[in-house]
Every structure is written in C-alpha cells, then in structure tokens.
Structure 1
Amino acid sequence: MSSVANWSYTATATVWKTLGYSESGDNLGYSAPIPILCDYEGGLSKRIGSIGAEIVAKNTIWTEYADAVTGDYILIGVSADPDPLNAGADEVMQVIRYADTFDRIADDFAIITGV
C-alpha cells in the first residue's frame, strides 16, 4: 500500500465479483464477499427528464483494489451476505485507473456505481 493510500483508505467496502454468464445468458452468480480498504463519496441518483430516465453516478469508491470490473457489485461497509442484491450492493458501472504518482507502488482506482 502506498504512503498516501495508507492514510486515506480507512473505510471498508465489500465487493462481489461476477462469475459471468452462461451461453444462454443466465447469471452464474457471484464470488464470496471480498472486503477492501477504500474511501468514498456519495453522488447523484436517477434523473428523469422528458425523454426518459438517465442513469447517473451514485457512489464513487477510491481504492487500490485492482480487480473490480463492470458488472461486479460493491457495498460501502462490511457484509458477509453471499448475495450482493440481498446485501443492498450497487452494480459497478465503470472503473477508472489512476497512477500512483508519489510512490509508484500500487495504482489507485475509482469504482463508480450507478442507480
């Protein structure tokens, strides 16, 4: 963990990795819950306009956890529930990678969820 992450990632989030989809498109489920160190910011929610509903960012979670991808689920806080939907987790919509500018030990990631 970089020196900057050491003092900034003091919260915990829980990630459930998607196990993919069958040939027929059925969800194969999710991994066991994975706790990660992070920091976070609450965002906006669904916006309804004259042409319909628009998905906008709900939460942004900053972390050194490098394995999140679109379709995974994440919850701010700790959960042992094997079902991310039951736990109230949000779907990962985008993951953005940032360089570890100071230490060059581990890159940082912004995990963005949607409504």
Structure 2
Amino acid sequence: MSSIANWSYTAKATIWRKLAGKDENGDPLGYAEPEIILCDYEGGLSKRIGSLGTEIVVNNTVWTEALAAAGDYLLIGESTETDPVRAGADEVRQVIRYADTFERLADDYAILTGV
C-alpha cells in the first residue's frame, strides 16, 4: 500500500468476489468468502441513462487499492455474512482504474455500486 493510500483509506468495506464459472445447470457458482478491504467512500453520487435506455442509479462510490469486478458485491463496513444479498451489500456495476501518481506502488480504483 502506498503511503498516501495508507493515510487516506481508513474506512473498511466488505467485498464478496463472484466465483468464476457455472455449475452443471448453468447457474453461477456463487461468491467467495467475504473479504475486508481498506477504502474511502461517498454515497449517492449520480444517475445516468444506460445504453439500452435503462436507468442506473449509483448507490456508492468506493475508492480503494483493492480490485473488484462487475458482478461482485460490496458493503460499506465489516460483515462475516456469507450471503452478500442477506448482508445488504450492493452489486458492483463498474470499476474505474487510476494510476498511483506519486509513488507508483499500487493503482487505485473507484468501485461504483448500484441498485
């Protein structure tokens, strides 16, 4: 972790990473065990119209050095619940990558969750 990230990412969030692949019925395999990450966050940033005309509401934006992917689930705060939906987590909709401008140790990510 860069010294700047160490200073700025002081909040905790829980991430459930979507497991790769599908079972014999074609259903998703579920999610990995919850993982606690360091972050900072802001709630309720914006609304936009998607390419198919559906409205996507950004619930939270989380800044962190931990990479996530669309389809993962994220909850601000700590949780040991194995089911992200039951824990109240939001689905990761988009991840934006930013360079570590000052130290070049680890990139930063803006993780946008939506409902």
TM-score by length of 2: 0.87
Q: Does 1:79 align with 2:74?
A: no
What corresponds to 2:30 in structure 1? 29
Structure 2 match to 1:103: 103
| 1:18 and 2:11 correspond | no
Partners of 1:46 and 1:53 within 8 A in 2: no
Per-residue deviation, residues 4-52 of structure 1 (Å, max 9, x unmatched): 10111000000001113336431211100000000000015778xxxx8
Number of residue pairs matched by the alignment: 110
Q: Percent identity?
A: 69
TM superposition shift of 1:53: 5.8
Q: CA RMSD in A?
A: 1.8
Question: Could you state the TM-score of these two structures normalised by the residue count of structure 1?
Answer: 0.87
Aligned partner letter, 1:8 = S
Correspondence 1:33-112 to 2 at 5 A: 33-44=34-45, 54-66=55-67, 68-112=68-112
| CA deviation vs aligned residue, 1:77-113 (integer Å, no higher than 9, x gap) | 0000000000000000000000000010000000000
Is the Cα contact below 8 Å between 2:66 and 2:109 reproduced in 1? yes
Instruction: Give the distance between the partners of 1:10 and 1:60, measured in 2 at CA.
Output: 15
Structure 2: gaps (5+ residues): none
Distance in 2, Cα, partners of 1:62 & 1:89: 16
The answer to which of 83-92 and 20-29 deviates more is 20-29
Runs of 4+ displaced beyond 2 Å = 20-25, 44-47
Q: Structure 1 unaligned runs (5+)?
A: none
Distance 1:46 1:96, change over 3 A: closer
Which is worse superposed, 57-66 or 23-32? 23-32
